[in-house]
Amino acid sequence: MKPFIVVADGFDSDLFNTLQTMDEFTVHPKAKSSQGEIQELAPEIEGLVIRSATTVTPEFLARCPKLKYVIRAGEGTDNIDKAACRAKDVRVSNTPGANNNSAAEHAIALMMTTLRKTAAAHASMQAGKWEKAKFTGNELTHKTVGIVGFGRIGQIVAKRISGFEPQVLFYDPFVNRDQFPNYEKIDALAELFKRSDIITLHVPLIPATKNSINKALLSLMKPSAILVNCARGGIVNEDDLLATLKEQKIRGAAFDVFANEPLPTDSPLLTLENLVLTPHLGASTEEAQVRVGEMVIHQLKEFFVNKNLMNEVKA
């Protein structure tokens, strides 16, 4: 019997067609399914490809007696209960690196639109207004940019913004300062928050980072500073962020990720003029989707045909 593969949360159409034609698998004919459909398919699923919309919980695993392999089409795996998967002998992989450039560029785009107020200016013009004076912004050039998490994405951000001649600070306990002599490693997160004009987050959501950006750190930011989060929802305490922005203690913020997604329509974050919001677009480029799809297909074949597990995520 061929392994039954379900792609739950969307896939590049050309690559999905390629996956469907492969002799090695039986593939559910929809590249994106509702959560109800996924639950109905659960008893037969052997390989599951997800993004951020589908969660793999103990309850879901209990409905999947045949499940052997879960691939997160992306990097973050906080929507997968990996301990529960280990207990059921279900292996978990991600696609590291495929989204890195896309995520880094989106963080920079959010920096720029927050500094120059382009999103608000666009909305104003669509409303028939010409409020030039209202949207005086700030330059990125020569600013101090603090990068929290200096892995692959954080490093790309630093490289891409180099043309603006910023001073780049980074905080990452797992990165040696000698590796990056052109940037300044900061040993205390509080110092980075005090010194930076722009702070951008690039860390995973794990117990150590959940709600780690809170009132205490936000209160250290310059009144002229901005905060960008294209990493994971839940890293920033949203109640503390809301209070900070409502009281205009910082210039503004831009968020692509949220503790609950989709962001509820009654979220008070939607009422803030000094907060730019995007619906988890960090990986949403055509180029990134192709790279992710190629990696997923390769990893499925390696696992089910060649018995080779690639990019396993255990913790």
Same domain, 60 and 163: no
In a 13 Å sphere around the CA of 246, the CA atoms on its Cβ side amount to 11
Asked if residue 309 is part of any domain, the answer here is: no
280 catalytic per annotation: yes
Calculate mean pLDDT across residues 243-272: 97
Tell me how far apart the alpha carbons of residues 251 and 153 are, in angstroms, rounded to a whole number.
24
Max Cα separation, the chain? 67
The number of beta carbons lying within 10 Å of the beta carbon of residue 42 is: 18
pLDDT value of position 89 = 97
Sign of CA dihedral 205, 210, 212, 216: positive
Q: Please pick, among 24, 59, 261, 287, the residue that the annotation labels catalytic.
A: 261
Structure tokens at 20: 């469907």
Give the pLDDT mean for 205-230. 97
Q: In a 10 Å sphere around its CB, with 0-12 CB exposed, 13-18 middle and 19+ buried, how is residue 174 labelled? A: exposed
The DSSP call for residue 175 is: S
pLDDT of residue 1: 83
pLDDT of residue 11: 87
Q: Is there a single domain that holds both residue 256 and residue 196? A: yes
Distance between CA atoms of residues 283 and 166, nearest Å: 25
- What is the Cα gyration radius of the chain? 21
Give the per-residue pLDDT at 75.
86
State percent of the chain over pLDDT 90: 94
pLDDT band at 305 (very low <50, low <70, confident <90, very high): very high
Count of structural domains, the chain = 2
Mean pLDDT for all residues in the chain: 96
| Across 186-214, average pLDDT | 97
pLDDT of residue 259: 96
Rounded average pLDDT over 46-61: 95
Contact 114, 254 (CB under 8 A): yes
If asked whether residues 161 and 235 sit together in one domain, one would say yes
- Are 75 and 222 found together in one domain? no
Cβ neighbourhood burial of 14 (10 Å; 0-12, 13-18, 19+): exposed
Residue 252, strand partner residues: 226
Do residues 78 and 157 share a domain?
A: no
Name the pTM for this structure: 0.89
Asked if residue 10 has pLDDT above 90, the reply is: no
Residue 63 bears catalytic tag: no
Weakest-pLDDT range from 71-85, 158-172, 215-229: 71-85
3-state secondary structure of 312: strand
Q: Is residue 315's pLDDT more than 80?
A: no
How far out from the chain centre does Cα 302 lie?
26
If asked whether residues 162 and 114 sit together in one domain, one would say yes
User: Does one domain contain both 267 and 221?
Assistant: yes
Task: Give me the amino acid identity at 148.
Answer: V
pLDDT tens for 122-155 read 999 999 999 999 999 999 999 999 999 999 999 9
3-state secondary structure of 188: coil
Whole-number pLDDT of residue 121: 97
Q: How many alpha carbons lie under 13 Å from residue 199 in its C-beta half-sphere?
A: 29
**In 3D, which of 247, 201, 225 has the Cα closest to residue 114?**
225
Q: What does DSSP assign to residue 235?
A: S
* Closest by Cα among 199, 197, 166, 170 to 184: 170
pLDDT digits (tens, 9 = 90+) for 182-197: 999 999 999 999 999 9
Judge whether residue 177 has pLDDT over 80. yes
CATH of the domain at 41: 3.40.50.720
Tokens read off for 258:
């949220």
Assign residue 74 a region (left: φ > 0; alpha: ψ between -120 and 50; beta: otherwise). left
Per-residue b/e over 94-115, b at no fewer than 16 CB within 10 Å? bbbebbbbbbbbbbbbbbbbbb
Q: What is the pLDDT of residue 138?
A: 97
Residues 155 and 261 in one domain: yes
Considering 28, 106, 232, 251, which one is annotated as catalytic?
232
Residues 33 and 110 in one domain: no
Per-residue pLDDT, 236: 98
Q: Residue 37's pLDDT is what? A: 93
How far is the C-alpha of 261 from the C-alpha of 45, rounded, in Å? 25
Averaged over 288-297, what is the pLDDT? 95
Q: Is 28 a catalytic residue?
A: no
What is the residue range of 235's domain?
100-277
112 and 261 share a domain? yes
What's residue 76's pLDDT? 85
